[in-house]
Structure 1
Amino acid sequence: MIRNPIDIASRVSPRLSALLSSRANDPECEQPVTLMAVRRFLADLLPDDFKEAERMHHFDVDISMLDELDVFIEEFGGSALAVDFVQASASEPLSRAIESVVGDENRENPPTLATVRDAILAGLGASLVGDGVLEDDEDDTLLSEIDALIERFGEDTLAEELLRYE
């Protein structure tokens, strides 16, 4: 399977990205999950009258997830891996932790995901809770989340690239 080298996930709507992520990470789904498999899943969820109207293109009010998926299938093929289209960014709590590491004036180089992981292991989460930057329960998932990002992108990825700005 050929992986798409460009950052196509940045073109995917948050709703479609969430659907693609849930399907790609569902252990009951046939692996690897492709765009066509997600399209079939989504089409099966639609009521029959909507499916018929969809085929006749009577909907032009807004681009539906199915329409958006069709655009990507046309451009990249139905066998493209769904995971390549999932937007990746840090959660709000992890974004705050990354910003804390980025803002450290004693740091010479931009922090990588490994640098942020080391800071979390050294107690960054507890420190941010103590400073009121994070809620008590928000530091519980920082380590597992940073590990998942490292697994997906590699430990040398610049942490700033995964910040979520809302």
Structure 2
Amino acid sequence: MIRYPIDVATRVSPNLSALIESQVNDPDAEQPVTLASVRAFITGLLPASLNEAERLHHFDIDVSLLDELDALIEEFGEDALAIDFAQSSASESLSRLIDVVMNDENRENPPTLETIKEAIVSGLSARLVGDGVLEDDEDDALLAEIERLIRRYGADSPAEEFIRYE
């Protein structure tokens, strides 16, 4: 697996990142998902009877998205794993939970993703729903979300790196 000297995901727009993430998480997608397969997915959404420029304009697909993807393909190659270009950050709900754990005055070390998972399993998310910090429906997806982050980045990754506030 190629490791880039920079975090290439920081160079990807949120829209392209979301599209890449949807393709990577698609259970029917060919594995591994590459930049070329993401491009093929985008162009495959459009009728073949139109040329590419007409298809993009006609269906209001943001041309800059395809341009951005083409620039990544030119720089990193069409066989580059798409997952490396998806920005991963916690949802707003998980970000709030991470923030609560980070600011726990009884904590000696910065929390890892595994620490956050343990907090969720131990009932912290339910307590935050009770305190009004999280909505009841936000609680349900937190465990699956933290487990996805752990699978991708490892249990020992600092949780603070994934905080996102909108």
TM above 0.5: yes
Q: Cα deviation per residue 1:59-110 (whole Å; 9 max; x = unaligned)?
A: xxx8611000011001100000111111101111111100000111111111
Deviation at 1:151, TM superposition (A): 0.9
Deviation at 1:49, TM superposition (A): 4.5
Q: Provide structure 1 residue ranges, at least 5 long, that are not aligned to the other structure.
A: 55-61
Instruction: Give distance in 2, aligned partners of 1:92 and 1:142.
Output: 10
Q: Report sequence identity in percent.
A: 64
Corresponding position of 1:37: 37
Corresponding position of 1:94: 94
Over aligned residue pairs, what C-alpha RMSD do you find? 2.0
Equivalences for residues 124-143 of structure 1 within 5 A: 124-143=124-143
2:152 counterpart letter in structure 1 = R
Instruction: Give distance in 2, aligned partners of 1:40 and 1:99.
Output: 39
Corresponding position of 1:78: 78
Equivalences for residues 11-160 of structure 1 within 5 A: 11-46=11-46, 49=50, 51-52=52-53, 64-160=64-160
Q: Cα deviation per residue 1:92-151 (whole Å; 9 max; x = unaligned)?
A: 111110000011111111111111111111110111011100011211111111111111
Deviation at 1:5, TM superposition (A): 4.6
Deviation at 1:50, TM superposition (A): 5.8
Is the contact made by 1:3 and 1:80 (CA closer than 8 Å) also made in structure 2?
no
Is the contact made by 1:89 and 1:163 (CA closer than 8 Å) also made in structure 2?
yes
Instruction: Give distance in 2, aligned partners of 1:51 and 1:35.
Output: 18
The alignment covers a number of residue pairs equal to: 160
Instruction: Give distance in 2, aligned partners of 1:24 and 1:4.
Output: 19
Corresponding position of 2:59: none
Instruction: Give distance in 1, aligned partners of 2:93 and 2:130.
Output: 14
Instruction: Give distance in 2, aligned partners of 1:134 and 1:77.
Output: 42
Question: TM-score under structure 1 normalisation?
Answer: 0.88
Instruction: Give distance in 2, aligned partners of 1:42 and 1:144.
Output: 27
Q: Residue 137 of structure 1 aligns to a residue in which SS?
A: helix
Is the contact made by 1:34 and 1:82 (CA closer than 8 Å) also made in structure 2?
yes
Deviation at 1:155, TM superposition (A): 0.8
Question: TM-score under structure 2 normalisation?
Answer: 0.88
Is the contact made by 1:33 and 1:83 (CA closer than 8 Å) also made in structure 2?
yes
Q: Provide structure 2 residue ranges, at least 5 long, that are not aligned to the other structure.
A: 56-61
